[in-house]
Structure 1
Amino acid sequence: MTETTPPPSLLSSGRRRWLAIGVGALAGLGGAGLAAWRLSPGPAQPDAAAQLWGATFEGLQGEPLRMADLRGRPLLLNFWATWCPPCVQELPLLDRFHAEQRARGWQVVGLAIDQAANVQKFLQRVPLQFPLALGGLAGSDIGRALGNERGGLPFTVLFAADGSILKRKMGELTPEDLALWATLA
């Protein structure tokens, strides 16, 4: 009986390990780059802020929410939906921010890209103190004008008291984001 020996490997186990680590690192960097690209808002259209300040949205009780009435104080505008897990996750954080910052003149508005019935049902489970309105197609169009070219949610825009755009973020806000933003306006 003859004994067969396996063919010699082209790469030693140490080299294979380093090659695997290198390939893994490159894949990770590529994934991080893709995520950063997807989560970076595009440029805002030159008239985006004017579009927002000229808009009126329907409140949850049918009352109008005129954005022009909110000018003159810092505004955090959050585009969200009940079917969006990161949106739902950040809403209590936004509610705490609203409670902590309103005495300093801050306003927080949630613009739901959703159906009124879905938002009403959601608010029975998760009550929120800051104003909410229904965005509809006009809200989606304004979101795109503000740089949310892909229509992703959540999308948040911080406006200065003069109505200019200070910050924008695609994706879920963090407590660190809000702590930094509170110092800007």
Structure 2
Amino acid sequence: MNKLGSKLFGLLVVVLIGTLLYLTVFSDGLGKAPDITVKTAQGDTLQLSKPLKPVLVSFWATTCPGCIAEMPHLAQMKEKFGDKFEIVAISMSYDPAEQVAKFIEKNPYPFSFVRDTDGQMSQAFGEVLLTPTNFLIAPNGNIVYQKIGEVDFELVTERIRQMTPDL
């Protein structure tokens, strides 16, 4: 009986590993990123549906304490991975433009800030209403992480390392 349990456990492990491999390599994971092009902090254009490097998209608002609290940690992550990784912070359409501009001026973080002036970006990502909402996009354009709430930095860091093994 013990050998049977051992064999079943081994089979379960193989099935789980196979499923994980399929979901991370062969499937679209959480879907494809929308076909949106943004301008990076360096002045380059970045197509989110095919970014060619990992990109963390973070929807935020100046009135969101969680958003403000995670920004220094996002900056550390960007500095750690450098130009092999990008962060795009998208302010919500309801956030007043002058308030967003003041925040960015006071906090020159090393990542790209984009304003969703008409709500089309949040709509393209599945009707984002709550902030922070974060999406990690793989170099092939697949969304591989999505979370409403502050980023799980340990998990996201590990996913970025898996996508960019030379870092």
The equivalences for 1:21-100 within 5 A come to 49=33, 52=34, 54-56=35-37, 67=47, 71-100=51-80
Percent identity of paired positions between Structure 1 and Structure 2: 24
What are the ranges of 5 or more consecutive residues in structure 2 without an aligned counterpart?
1-28
| Equivalent residue for 1:180, pick from 141, 154, 158 | 158
CA separation of 1:107 and 1:70: change in aligned 2, threshold 3 A: farther
Task: Pick from 123, 128, 138 the counterpart of residue 160 of structure 1.
Answer: 138
Q: Deviations over 1:157-183 (max 9, x none)?
A: 011111111111110124323333323
Map Cα deviations across residues 57-77 of structure 1 (whole Å, 9 max, x no partner).
5889xx896535962111111
Structure 1 unaligned runs (5+)? Answer: 1-42
Q: Summarize the alignment of residues 123-142 of structure 1 with structure 2, pairs less than 5 Å apart.
A: 123-136=104-117, 137-142=119-124
Cα distance in structure 1, aligned partners of 2:59 and 2:157: 19
Write the distance in 1 (CA, Å) between the matches of 2:72 and 2:125.
Answer: 22
Instruction: Note if contact 2:66-2:149 (Cα within 8 Å) is conserved in structure 1.
Output: yes
Q: What TM-score, normalized to structure 1?
A: 0.60
Q: 1:93 to 1:67 in 2, by over 3 A?
A: same
CA contact (8 A) 2:54 2:160 kept: no
Change (3 A) 1:74 1:119: same
Q: Is the 8 A contact 1:157 1:169 kept in 2?
A: yes
What is the Cα-based RMSD across aligned positions, in Å? 2.9
CA contact (8 A) 1:57 1:135 kept: no
Q: Which amino acid aligns with 1:178?
A: V
> Is contact 1:59–1:134 with CA below 8 Å preserved after alignment?
no
Counterparts of 1:106 and 1:64, CA distance in 2: 13
Given that 2:39 and 2:45 are in contact with CA atoms closer than 8 Å, whether structure 1 keeps it comes out as yes
Residue identity opposite 1:101 in structure 2: F
